[in-house]
A = this chain, B = another copy of it.
């Protein structure tokens, strides 16, 4: 008989919460009792798991002593209030928000990169930001092999990274524009349909956005390297699912594009698609959306720098960028007993 674990999914009606339920089923996670939870507003709605319908419970009323694992994807405010309560009740929290990521005692884990950190938790394990996760799955093997001094990354991020309302805003704006009607911006600062917006999260005094600074310090924390330089430009594009990244690195020791390719082909969680002809590269829609892997394409030497490598990195931001990474952390946890 397999040991099972009672699991709470906090934010069960959101895009990431839904994907967590799908992935727990798809990957046959040993779920005992399941408790989908949300705010009072969403409570009572049905969600589905292994052919059964579950009524979403009210987070504020839930007794976390009933579960061993709680997967949170409900934003920083909710995590700040409820994750400590869940921990106090004896449960391990895997949190998708940025709330605890920077706390020294909270492991920030990408299972392909630093799985060993999972077991050092004091009740909370943080899931990194979507853009960081896919970048580091692809870069960690190179980092381990030849070292990386600097990362310069420009992102092409899907609207689903901003949640269900952002997906609806892109769809609504697109439909209105195709019908020559006026649009309004509710969630985004400017028109999102047929446009690209160079700001995600609020801007810092340094001129970097919150999303960009997350990529900087999360990379340092996960790789345990305070020296590594990261300069990101984070941009929202009118894509529903799947983040793309143009990544430029400077390695410590020289490595050829061919060696990088061979290295990544043998590395976990990565699929290399890199042919010069016939669209031999990955895109958000045609390769990444709905898939688990981080796709790497356009691996080439930087013609301006001896130790430079350029790559194109694409992954499903809701799956590997959030839900899948969280479920993989849960899998690591149960492998040695929670």
**Among the listed stretches A21-29, A65-73, A202-210, which one makes contact with chain B, having 4 or more residues with CB under 8 Å of it?**
A202-210
**Among the listed stretches A6-14, A55-63, A171-179, which one makes contact with chain B, having 4 or more residues with CB under 8 Å of it?**
A171-179
Complex: A312 Cα to B237 Cα, angstroms: 15
User: Which residues of A290-320 have CB atoms within 8 Å of chain B's CB atoms?
Assistant: 297-305, 308, 310, 312
Which chain B residues border A240 with CB–CB below 8 Å?
Answer: 194
Complex: A271 Cα to B237 Cα, angstroms: 23
Complex: A248 Cα to B297 Cα, angstroms: 22
Complex: A235 Cα to B247 Cα, angstroms: 13
Given A154-B246, A238-B238, check contact A196 B303 (CB 8 Å): no
Instruction: Please tell me if A152 contacts chain B, counting CB pairs below 8 Å.
Output: yes
Which chain B residues border A238 with CB–CB below 8 Å?
Answer: 194, 237-239
User: Which residues of A170-195 have CB atoms within 8 Å of chain B's CB atoms?
Assistant: 171, 174-175, 178, 189-191, 194-195
Which chain B residues border A191 with CB–CB below 8 Å?
Answer: 283, 285-286
Instruction: Please tell me if A269 contacts chain B, counting CB pairs below 8 Å.
Output: no
A196 nearest CB across to chain B (Å): 5
Whether B283 lies near A207 (C-beta < 8 A) is no
Whether B198 lies near A300 (C-beta < 8 A) is no
A210 nearest CB across to chain B (Å): 12
Instruction: Please tell me if A257 contacts chain B, counting CB pairs below 8 Å.
Output: yes
Instruction: Please tell me if A230 contacts chain B, counting CB pairs below 8 Å.
Output: yes
Whether A283 lies near B244 (C-beta < 8 A) is no
Which chain B residues border A305 with CB–CB below 8 Å?
Answer: 150, 229, 231
Q: Find the B residue at minimum CB distance from A282.
A: B198
Complex: A299 Cα to B190 Cα, angstroms: 19
Contacting residue for A195 out of B239, B299, B310, B312, CB 8 A: B239
Whether B297 lies near A208 (C-beta < 8 A) is no
Instruction: Please tell me if A332 contacts chain B, counting CB pairs below 8 Å.
Output: no
Known: A195-B283, A198-B283. 15 other contacts (CB 8 A): A150-B304, A152-B304, A156-B156, A156-B235, A191-B286, A195-B242, A196-B237, A203-B277, A206-B303, A231-B248, A231-B302, A231-B303, A231-B310, A237-B237, A238-B239
